[in-house]
Amino acid sequence: MCVGIHTYVKTPTRIGVIISMNRQVLFPLSLALILSLIIACGKDDPKPTPEPDPTPADTTVVKPDPVTPNPVASVAGWPAEYGGVMLQGFYWDGFGDAQWTRLEAQADELAPYFSLVWIPQSGNCGGTSMGYDDLWWFNNYDSSFGTEAQLRSLINTFKSKGIGTIADVVINHRKNVSNWVDFPKETYKGVTYEMLSTDICADDDGGATKTWASQNGYQLSANSDTGEGWGGMRDIDHMSTNVQIIVKAYLDFLLNDLGYVGFRYDMVKGYHGRYTKLYNESAKPQFSVGECWDGTNTIRSWIDATEKTSAAFDFQFRYTVRNAVNTGNWARLGQRNDNNWPLVSNNVNGGAYRQYAVTFVENHDTEYRSATAQQDPIKKDTLAANAYLLAMPGTPCVFLKHWKSYKHDIARMIQARQVAGIQNTSSTTLLRSNAGFYAATVEGTKGKLVVWLGDQSEAAAAIEGCTKILEGQHYSYWLDNSLLSAWQAMPTPTFAGDNVEKHDITIHLKDPGWQQVYFYAWDGNLYIEDSWPGVKVTATKTINGTKYYYRTFNVAAEPGYSMNVIFDQGSAEAQTVDITGINSDRYYEITNRGDDGKFGFRDITAAVAP
């Protein structure tokens, strides 16, 4: 996430007084502060090719808590022998696909395959946002993804279908209301909560915040950050009793009011792992996973710091898959990434951390976003990467873009995992490997599954006691012969749009003079599911001397069907408002921008259509 730099109108208040005063002081940002904020941008816009330190030392300074937590029963950070699969239900700037109503409409499709869905941080952030510049924790849940009522309906519908919803919890840092050090005043269960300037780490923004605070009559905490600093917003002092009280109440609200079942903690390297333990022991989530983006030693140390009250994303699993797929050297699946074995590997404490490993091959930080934000994506063999992910131990987390593109294939992979009884703690054995292929056997509770990646020519001769049940580009699944009846009894996955009579609708856009033109299309039936910013359209035709961009959609020929479109210039660029209710060939032209910054449109079909 890269947060823009703003010059705020400052409203000084006394420390600890929870009222605002009218006197306003305009604070000019210094050059040093601007540079600090620019450098800070990018916590969720990481470096294009982040390569974690192979064995980074834990430099966190351990400090005593201000209060000793009450003794509580041990909290398991992630269930052992867990066979579920999680879906990351969003991608960067995927505001359309991650709308609460749109996710809820897919509940029946998702339920047979996913037991958990992780959704974006759901509180209001004061504007269009992916949720990582969090502002409101209790009293405003009308976000970029929908209303609070729609959020509650989504969570309840998922629950009724056997799907647990995972909240994105951003408590390393927090956005301010009107100046650098003020936060919202909110009420929950009759108690008013408000963070104060004294809840901000003393060394926030490299000391720039403290300088401003001193000049404007505020004080910060006396405590420095217990983890890595981040300059985008205020780093919260988790040693503060007030912060601990508010975070505990916030997590209680997420679980027991909104109905989430667990947490995905953002940027956990920003504060010591013992605070995750403190919060989880208070909230008692069924599931907890931290984003500890680093080498395996650091990830393992963080899990230990939480006293195993939380799992962590297995970033090194992801990097080994990236290495193998992007280079075409399949042997790299069994090799370290810059001296890091994946957390699920037999080489990490004999596989003892598999229970706490949430594996993935792509997420919103690594995916390709645009030509100017290419990140570090899987560049090819997406299905083979997911075949490996879904055969291995750990809890797999499938990326929404991959699911949208390959629903039938990924659904069958998950079914194979279910039939074999593969769990997060299952054991694996390397069958054979070289640059051309990699094969491993995974022992499930019901039988074994062999996954073979790369060249398939030697697979049949090398695998005994199994039958091939799935195959595709550079992958195959081989199932224990004793499980073939169970496999054959599995229903064939079906999704919206399968076996539906179709017809063509062509949408035309009068040349708007943009450097590039994208059509982002969707419908309520999920027959059309573009990923934002849609498809770059280069096809043109000339009508009465005027150039039009056009795109043809093969859609359902059923009564009442309609589709929707947005014209845009690419990710994070200008776009039109939603154009809805399209059920036949249409011609449009762009009009002026509205107050929301979006272009309007005019339907010119009657004047242009042949």
Residue 220's SS3 state is coil
Q: Which of 263, 241, 245, 265 is nearest to 254 (CA)?
A: 263
Sign of CA dihedral 406, 409, 415, 420: negative
Q: How many CB atoms lie within 10 A of CB 214?
A: 11
State how far the Cα of 404 lies from the Cα of 109, in Å rounded to an integer. 12
Out of 5-19, 75-89, 307-321, 423-437, which region has the weakest mean confidence (pLDDT)? 5-19
In this predicted structure, the answer to whether residue 28 has a pLDDT above a threshold of 60 is no
> Alpha carbon 366 to chain centroid distance?
10
State how far the Cα of 109 lies from the Cα of 97, in Å rounded to an integer. 15
Examine residue 436 and state whether it is found in any structural domain, yes or no: yes
State how far the Cα of 573 lies from the Cα of 593, in Å rounded to an integer. 13
* Cα–Cα distances in angstroms (integers) from residue 488 to residues 102, 113, 388, 472, in the given order: 32, 17, 22, 19
State how far the Cα of 105 lies from the Cα of 90, in Å rounded to an integer. 15
| 262-265 vs 164-169, strand pairing mode | parallel
Q: Of 297, 313, 329, which closes a domain?
A: 313
In this predicted structure, the answer to whether residue 11 has a pLDDT above a threshold of 70 is no
Q: Domain holding 293: CATH number? A: 3.20.20.80
At 53, list the tokens: 């330190």
> Mapped to the 3 state alphabet, what secondary structure does 265-287 carry?
ECCHHHCCHHHHHHHHHHHCCCE
* Cα–Cα distances in angstroms (integers) from residue 124 to residues 148, 410, 448, 572, in the given order: 10, 33, 46, 19
State how far the Cα of 465 lies from the Cα of 455, in Å rounded to an integer. 20
CB 404 within 8 A of CB 398: no
Q: Domain holding 519: CATH number? A: 2.60.40
Residue 199's SS3 state is helix
Q: What is the pLDDT of residue 489?
A: 97
Q: What is the DSSP string of 125-192?
A: -SSS--SSS---SSS---BTTB-HHHHHHHHHHHHHTT-EEEEEE--SEE--SSSSS----EEETTEE
Phi-psi region of 100 (alpha: psi -120 to 50; beta: other; left: phi over 0): alpha
On whether both 476 and 560 belong to a single domain, the answer is no
Sign of CA dihedral 471, 380, 405, 359: positive
State how far the Cα of 387 lies from the Cα of 382, in Å rounded to an integer. 9
User: Average model confidence (pLDDT) for the chain?
Assistant: 87
| 535-536 vs 518-523, strand pairing mode | antiparallel
Q: For residue 94, what pLDDT band results from cuts at 50, 70 and 90?
A: confident
On whether both 581 and 461 belong to a single domain, the answer is no
On whether both 518 and 569 belong to a single domain, the answer is yes
- E strand map for 272-394: 287-290, 311-313, 357-359
Taking the model in full, what pTM does it have? 0.79
Q: What is the pLDDT of residue 527?
A: 67
At 600, list the tokens: 């309007």
Q: What is the pLDDT of residue 66?
A: 32
Examine residue 207 and state whether it is found in any structural domain, yes or no: yes
State how far the Cα of 344 lies from the Cα of 402, in Å rounded to an integer. 22
On whether both 119 and 157 belong to a single domain, the answer is yes
Cβ neighbours for 540, distance < 8 A, ≥ 6 positions apart: 511, 547, 548, 549, 550
- E strand map for 298-408: 311-313, 357-359, 395-399
Q: What is the pLDDT of residue 264?
A: 98
Examine residue 206 and state whether it is found in any structural domain, yes or no: yes
In this predicted structure, the answer to whether residue 12 has a pLDDT above a threshold of 70 is no
In this predicted structure, the answer to whether residue 565 has a pLDDT above a threshold of 90 is yes
Examine residue 250 and state whether it is found in any structural domain, yes or no: yes
On whether both 443 and 566 belong to a single domain, the answer is no
- E strand map for 422-571: 427-434, 437-443, 448-454, 466-472, 475-480, 502-510, 518-523, 535-536, 540-543, 546-556, 563-568
DSSP category for residue 68: P
When pLDDT is averaged across residues 305-309 and rounded to a whole number, the result is: 98
On whether both 438 and 560 belong to a single domain, the answer is no
In this predicted structure, the answer to whether residue 188 has a pLDDT above a threshold of 50 is yes
Q: For residue 597, what pLDDT band results from cuts at 50, 70 and 90?
A: confident
At 5, list the tokens: 């730099």
* Cβ-count burial 166-193 (b if 16+ within 10 Å, e if not): bbbbbbbbbbbeebbbbbbebebeeeeb
On whether both 470 and 539 belong to a single domain, the answer is no
pLDDT above 90 covers a percentage of the chain that reads: 76
When pLDDT is averaged across residues 145-151 and rounded to a whole number, the result is: 96
Q: What pLDDT digit, counting tens, does each position of 75-88 carry?
A: 678 999 999 999 99
pLDDT above 70 covers a percentage of the chain that reads: 87
Q: What is the pLDDT of residue 61?
A: 29
On whether both 95 and 224 belong to a single domain, the answer is yes
Out of 11-25, 175-189, 432-446, 478-492, which region has the weakest mean confidence (pLDDT)? 11-25
Q: Of 289, 313, 337, which closes a domain?
A: 313
To the nearest 10°, the Cα dihedral for 42, 47, 53, 54?
130
In this predicted structure, the answer to whether residue 560 has a pLDDT above a threshold of 80 is no
In this predicted structure, the answer to whether residue 125 has a pLDDT above a threshold of 70 is yes
In this predicted structure, the answer to whether residue 119 has a pLDDT above a threshold of 90 is yes
On whether both 523 and 589 belong to a single domain, the answer is yes
Examine residue 495 and state whether it is found in any structural domain, yes or no: no
Q: Which structural domain, as residue segments, surrounds residue 446?
A: 426-488
On whether both 566 and 461 belong to a single domain, the answer is no
| Residue 322: its H or E element | helix 315-327
Q: What pLDDT digit, counting tens, does each position of 130-143 carry?
A: 999 999 999 999 99
Q: What pLDDT digit, counting tens, does each position of 209-227 carry?
A: 999 999 999 999 999 999 9
Examine residue 173 and state whether it is found in any structural domain, yes or no: yes
Q: Of 256, 283, 313, which closes a domain?
A: 313
Q: What pLDDT digit, counting tens, does each position of 388-437 carry?
A: 999 999 999 999 999 998 999 999 999 999 999 999 999 999 999 999 99
Q: How many CB atoms lie within 10 A of CB 600?
A: 13
State how far the Cα of 577 lies from the Cα of 600, in Å rounded to an integer. 6
Q: Which of 263, 351, 352 is nearest to 309 (CA)?
A: 263
On whether both 476 and 597 belong to a single domain, the answer is no
Examine residue 595 and state whether it is found in any structural domain, yes or no: yes
Structural domain tally of the chain?
A: 3
| Residue 600: its H or E element | strand 599-603
Examine residue 158 and state whether it is found in any structural domain, yes or no: yes
On whether both 481 and 580 belong to a single domain, the answer is no
